[in-house]
Amino acid sequence: MLKSRNKKILCVYTLDSILCPKDKPIRYLTDIPLGISYIMAAIKHAGYELELFVFSQKNDIKKDINKLFSENNFDIVLFTSVSSQYFFVRKIAQYIKEVKPEIKNVIGGVHATLNFKDVLKEDCFDVVCVGDGEHATVDYIKHIRENKQINSIDNLYIKENGNILNPNKIYFTEDLDSLYPPLRDIWNKWISFPKSYYSAYKILVTRGCYNNCSYCSNHALSRISSTTKYVRYRNVDKIVEEINSVNYHKIDLVCESLTLNKQFFNDLTTALKKNNENRATKILYYAESNVYHSILNEDFFRRIDEANIRVLGIGLESGSYKIRRKVLLRPNYSNKDLYNFCQMAKKFNIAVHTYVLIGIPYETQNDYLKTINILRKCQPNFIFVYIYMPYPGTNLYKRLVEDKIIKGYNYFSHSEERTKALVSYKNMSKLRIQLNYIFFFIRVYWKHKPLIELFTLTAGRFLYCYNRFIPSFSYNFLEKKLSQNLDKLNQNENL
Going by C-alpha positions, the residue among 304, 331, 303 that lies closest to residue 315 is 331
Q: Is the dihedral of CA 240, 244, 250, 253 positive or negative?
A: negative
Q: Which of residues 96-135 bind ligand SF4 (CB under 6 A)?
A: none
> Is 464 in contact with 414 (CB distance < 8 Å)?
no
Q: At what angle do helices 298-306 and 335-347 cross, to 10 degrees?
A: 50
Among 56, 59, 80, 434, which residue sits at the site for ligand B12 (rule: CB under 6 A)? 80
Is 315 an interacting residue with respect to ligand SF4 (CB under 6 A)? yes
With CB under 5 to 8 Å by kind, the binding choice for 315 among ligand SF4, ligand B12, none is ligand SF4
Nearest residue (CB) to ligand SF4, 108 versus 315: 315
Helix axes 34-45, 134-145, angle to 10 degrees: 40
**In the complex, minimum distance from the CB of residue 298 to ligand B12, in angstroms, rounded to a whole number:** 28
Q: Which of residues 198-217 bind ligand SF4 (CB under 6 A)?
A: 209, 211, 213, 216
**164-171: Cβ within 8 A, 24+ apart:** 164/120, 167/130, 169/225, 169/227, 170/130, 170/131, 170/224, 170/225, 171/131, 171/132, 171/225, 171/227, 171/228
- Whose Cβ is closer to ligand B12: residue 107's or residue 428's? 107
Mask of contacts with ligand B12, 386-425, x by CB under 6 A?
-----x-------------------------xx-------
296 binds, among ligand SF4, ligand B12, none (CB under 5 to 8 A by kind): none
CB atoms within 10 A of CB 201: 20
Pattern 267-306, ligand B12, x by CB under 6 A: ----------------------------------------
Asked if 460 interacts with ligand B12 (CB under 6 A), we say no
Pairing of strands 156-160, 127-129: antiparallel
Q: Which residues contact 271 (CB under 8 A, 6 or more apart)?
A: 236, 237, 239, 240
Residue placing its CB nearer to ligand B12 in the complex, 239 or 344: 239
* 261 counts as binding ligand SF4 under rule CB under 6 A: no
> Could you tell me which of 38, 66, 65, 40 has the C-alpha nearest to residue 52?
40
Residue number with CB closer to ligand SF4 (207 or 250): 207
CA 253 to chain centre: 13
Handedness of CA 484, 485, 486, 489 (dihedral sign): positive
Alpha carbon distance 59, 317 (integer Å): 35
- Do 465 and 437 touch, CB atoms closer than 8 A? yes
Q: Which does residue 254 touch among ligand SF4, ligand B12, none (CB within 5 to 8 A, set by kind)? A: ligand B12
- 363 lies in the binding site for ligand B12 (CB under 6 A): no
Query: What character string, x for contact with ligand B12 (CB under 6 A) and - otherwise, covers 35-64?
Result: xx-xx-------------------------
- Tell me the per-residue interface mask from 212 to 251 with ligand B12, x by CB under 6 A, - otherwise: ----xxx--x------------------------------
The CA distance from 125 to 97, in Å, is 9
Footprint on this chain of ligand SF4 (rule: CB under 6 A): 209, 211, 213, 216, 218, 256, 315
Footprint on this chain of ligand B12 (rule: CB under 6 A): 15, 31, 33-36, 38-39, 78-80, 82-85, 106-111, 113, 129, 132-134, 136-137, 204, 207, 216-218, 221, 254, 391, 417-418
